[in-house]
Structure 1
Amino acid sequence: MAIPVPIRLLLLALATLASLPRSGAQTNVTLGTSLPAAAGAAWPSPSGRFAFGFYATGGGLAVGVWLATSPNVTVTWTAGGGNDTPANGGELQLSEDGRLLWTGADGQYRSLAAPPQPALSAAMRDDGSFVLYDADGAVVWSTFEFPTDTLVPGQDLVPGAHLFSSVSPTNRAAGKFRLANQLNDENLVLYPVQTENAAHAAYWDTATFQIGFPLTLRLDATGVLYLTGNGGNYTKNLTRPGAALSPAETQVFYRVTLDPDGVLRLYRHAVASGDAWTTDVQLIGPSDRCHVKGTCGPNSYCVLDRDAQPSCLCPPGFEFIDAANGALGCTRTSGAGDCEAGLSMATIQNMSWADTSYAVLGAATSAADCQAACMADCLCAAMLLNSKDGTCTTQQLPLMYGRTGGGYTLFVKITSVSPAIGGGGRGHRVGRTTIVVVVCTGLLACVSLAALLAAALLFWANRRTFAEQDAAEALDEEAPLRSYSYQELEHATCGFREPLGRGAFGTVFRGTLLHNSSEKTIAVKRLDKVVEEGEVEFQREVRAIGRTSHRNLVRLLGFCHEGANRLLVYEYMSNGSLAERLFRSGGGDGPPAWGERMGIALDVARGLHYLHDELDSRVIHCDVKPQNILMDASGTAKIADFGLAKLLLPDQTRTFTGVRGTRGYMAPEWYRGVGPLTVKADVYSYGVVLLEIVTCRRSMELEEAGEERTLMECAHEWLVRGEVTRAVGCQDEAPEVERAVKVAVWCAQAEPQARPAMRSVILMLEGLVE
């Protein structure tokens, strides 16, 4: 006789409960069990030392794991990485379909855990992990797999994983700093958030880079934080064992936390009889809080007060963005970086700043020569002079990660203080000539202002019909990323029926989504190699362009990160790639006209300038080529495909040589493995692309035809012989053609330091500077 389905499920549940491990893993949550939302409401571990449930935070409640210290609990894990909006009411529930949900009073829910297979039960364990079990008693989900800002004994930070600091002790949302266990070079490094893994942004590391095998960060029960790898044959201790239990202490707990101030600390929590708790702190790094990059914002520098607490100051010519919050950084009050009259250089000695220069004067440069070079350069905002070797480097804004100490002298371009009218000291009378000049200047200013107002009114009358449309487009540009379900994207692409192209990691499909009551055409990239390369590309794409709305970058609208599915949703580019426009073979409309081609060249230059100089952290695209430049319906060129985008430490370049980038566009220092990867690698690639735009010829076509030279080498010969316009065949635009070829050749110089910054490229192509 067949057993009814409900009875079979009951027997299966009972068998599961009987088979689950009992050692610190007692199951106390079964399907359908709920926990009403209230501060302190929790499912405790068997000993009661750990709990999983609701705790109070700014603006409401959050869900997490905490150690029951006294007088306040110590949160060790927060659902959603702390980024879920605090809420009130509802209940926490292990749903009948095996998911962990926070269901609100209105019936809406947020998923806190969606295991790859349905859970049958759950438990808060004494090791500090909250886990979900399947029908066989195997763990299918654990808080240990998704660390936030803390590690406890038994919890690993695996290769490729991060810890993120919280905003503050009372706000558990992801804060300003991160600890990265780097996959590519086996180093454990502290960075500010929203930066790539770049040397100029790192402020503490374990010095384990490139040892040849991945490392895992682990904390043991005695308080030793250590790195291990190579099957346990390699171990590096980062802390010493903690103090032994005193006679008054009954138990001790350790945790390692990346604190809101960006410092990694080891905490020892001991409990004595009577449940009295004590906490001791051991600093891991860094010891000087001004060494934490990001403590002070852009264009400001950090100093320590008498209590070794950091505070932020502005250089001469700058003022705080917010006087009440100096950590936000400074903004300039002078014309630094302009070519106006009345500029001078202010000096601050014994400083340290991130060196993100676009030009290097070389060693043994005097202070006077260093300042003179900046005064002669309209793009220069500041200079850094290394007191050890006299190397002088040219800087643009923003100046980043400043602090006192470090052996550098900073020269900042500022507006000089103008002398009082009439000269001399106080009480001098103003002469008649000066009065006449002032009155005439005032009248002229009034006339000019009236004309300007009239022009503005006329301009507004011509443009106001488009104001609502522009505002809607602006709001659309700033729309945040959306997380789509796989079913939504499968439906949007009609079952991934219309492929647009295929890359190394997956295929791009055309689709449509309902957007603002109308259909919006999208492009969906489905990544095939999701386990390794595809997952890395997915993460790079989201980090590189996930928060930008620049008009010259293809916009990322959303993504799907669900189970084994990795999909990226982009705005649809209806006019194909630049390669298709430039290198059409036979028939059709032919390549674009000269003016359109120069517009495309400027679009790409502006997109790269944004990536290199206008973000908090520089993004190196790493694969600039016509196939990765897409055209929208209005003819605007947009840079796409950030699957290779990454900033590398100087010692990491050999790791990726030969497997990143495209032949013919890669900078020589990269494919030869002889130097660090910088933004100048993109500048080199842009130079090649610019020459292709000018000539409508592929850069490698000569070499592929058997000739022992490239198109770039030919361009250099054309310039030397004065034959550029004849070789290119654009006689009517001779000055513009020669200028563009010169810029292309300059961008493709062999030495990275010799290549211009993208801002300079834009000015040169626009004819504003020679």
Structure 2
Amino acid sequence: MRLPSPPAIVPLSLLFSFTFFLCSSFVLSASRNSIYRGASLSVEDHVSDVLTSPDQSFACGFYQVGIDAYSFSIWFAHSNIKTVVWTANRDQPVNGRSSRVSLHRDGTMVLTDVDGSIVWSTNTTNKNVDKAELLDTGNLVLKNLSGDILWQSFDYPTDTLLPGQPFTRRTRLISAMANGTHVSGYFTLFFDNDNVLRLAYDGPEFSSLYWPNPDYTNVFQLGRTKYNSSRTALLDVMGRFSSSDRTNFFASDMGSGIERRLTLDYDGNLRLYSWDNSTASWVVSWLALPRQCDIHGLCGRNGVCTYTPIPKCSCPPGYERSDPVDWNKGCKPKFTRTCNQTQQFKFVELPYTDFWGYDLDYQEQSSLEHCRELCRAKCSCEAFVFGLNGVGACYTKASLFNGRKAPSFPGTIYLKLPKSLDTSEPSNLTISDLTCGFSKVGNQVGSSNMYGKDNKGRTRWIYLYSFIYAIGAIESLFIASGWWCLFRRNKVKISMEDGYRAISSQFKKFTYAELKKATKNFKEELGRGGSGSVYKGVLEDNRVVAVKKLGDVIQGEEEFWAEVSMIGRVNHMNLVRMWGFCTEKTHRLLVYEYVENGSLDKHLFSSSDRSCLLNWKERFRIALGTAKGLAYLHHECLEWVVHCDVKPENILLDSNYEPKIADFGLAKLSQRGQSGSNFSKIRGTKGYMAPEWTLNLLITAKVDVYSYGVVLLEIVKVIRLSDWVVVDGEHETELTRFLRVVKEKIECGGDSWIEDILDPSLRGQFNKKQAAAMVEVGISCVDEDKSKRPTMDEVVKILLEIE
């Protein structure tokens, strides 16, 4: 019997082959990196109708920026986070229907809106363009048949510079208006007419240069030069940035194989980002201004930028928000300013607050009363700044822009307000629009924005001004910064801190032979700790230094160089200054300034030398200065530093018994590659360690607060609170016993307990109010619940009130 043939088998095989061919064709089409003359990309197929670089790193096509609004953009394509790096029409988005970008047969690439109007074009008519191609560098280029580039997106950056993309006198970066939007904002990176690379704010009411620090009268003090007129800069694939004006920096994770971008963010800070594959997020590997409030224009006219602890904008007394969602419009007065001679004024004091620029007059050796009358007599005077390190400097102000408040500012501003104005209720309307983070958290950018049409048919943007910009573990690095002391032949002028003067850091890389010679073969040991030994040395320029030999640092040379450069960038009067480092073979050494009076523990616990005992003023100065140093690290946009080992041995005293915190940043040197809150082992010294270490809880800056609390109580009591004692047959620490005794005495009422618990060697010579406050602050700092501990910024404010 004849069997019937299975006719369905052959057609099924053909169908499978045909289906496979279609799928393959689709994949090939979806991953194309070029289009030829006569072809186009359609907004209606914006998900699939894109160009993709051969290595799949970048994509180019229509990017949604709002409801039915699109831009022609290039973005990183390695994840769901579409990080846009270039936009052709950032301020004029096109409609979500019928818009397209086409490579015309005359060689011009054109973006058209729904009505056929041309929104953007390359102006490459009759240049023999053959195709548009997206390269692995993220550069969109137009090429002829010979492969020559006739046009490239690299010549027209928006807010981002990619590795290999030249930055010239003809290009500039312009920030976005707000987080998550792509509309042009007010901040610009550009080469100025003097050939110097600068950052500037150009807002609705005023313009101002803010980087490099405008208080430098000479850019040579910053290591810059004006005399190279080529005006070119480049970020390379290793993460190194170099400029013709000698603006040089590099990523803290410098090396090949890492995707990077240099972006001028919406908040005016220039940041270098690196892509972290392990967390699938962007991390900051360098930034121009570690202290966010140094950026001009953030809070608009009359607004004040303050650290609480993250940077926030607020309105001073007598002022209120001009716009509830836009800090660029600043604050408006609640009164009408007139020049009527009959109007009476009062002056409201804002400590540690400054408004940069717009000085009417400047006088040294002035009195507060004279400065007040100077401002009162001038109709144009809106406020005056007085103080500045005790020199009696007086600045009267014609306008109030670029306000900032920080514990490190040594002056006070006095607002000129009508006497009848009620300022009893503070006007602190704040919004978290300026942020800097503690942990190494990825920054997700590219959230959609809403667009609409006004009655004139112009495209406008509407955005929710809610900033959730969580940046992590700012591992920034600089070679030079700080405060400049201006020297004259016959007179030394005291520097005006925090924005008035600065000095170059003189940070350098030493050879091992140099340091061996400077220390006379490491002859004089100053101290020894868990991280290494410290030796006294004298450099060739006669600077006395302390050279620290590190023990457990395992980074390679480039990583170590990046880390110590970052630490060397930190400059505060209450932090030990790092002058440089050495990394040769297995040698890892740090070079610090030499601090004359040694460490605090020798002055607190040295029973053999009674001359080392500190008087009350010195103790209070040490408590306040140490708090200021830690507050600087924790709150002024430098939260990447958690000391992890605050103790008397790490608090050094200079010739005036001003404290300087040592060994900050060493925890990071041993924690390369870890997130900011994860530590591979317990750090710190027994007796000063917060409970979080042993309970395996999240490590934050509050561990330093706990350690500071122990030190503060030791300054008051002058005993080692970490020592163990036996009470009623039970073992407990001196700290536990001290806290129990003090709390019992406080509960009894009165203030007689103060003298009972203080160091008896003071013989009653102390300030009772300060002593009580120090004990109370110390007790709150060592609370086992870290959420109940104050921040270091709050500690500084408490101590300053009783100074």
TM-score bucket of the superposed structures, by smaller chain: 0.3 to 0.5
Q: By percentage of residues, which structure has more helix?
A: 1
Higher relative contact order (CA 8 A, sep 6+): 2
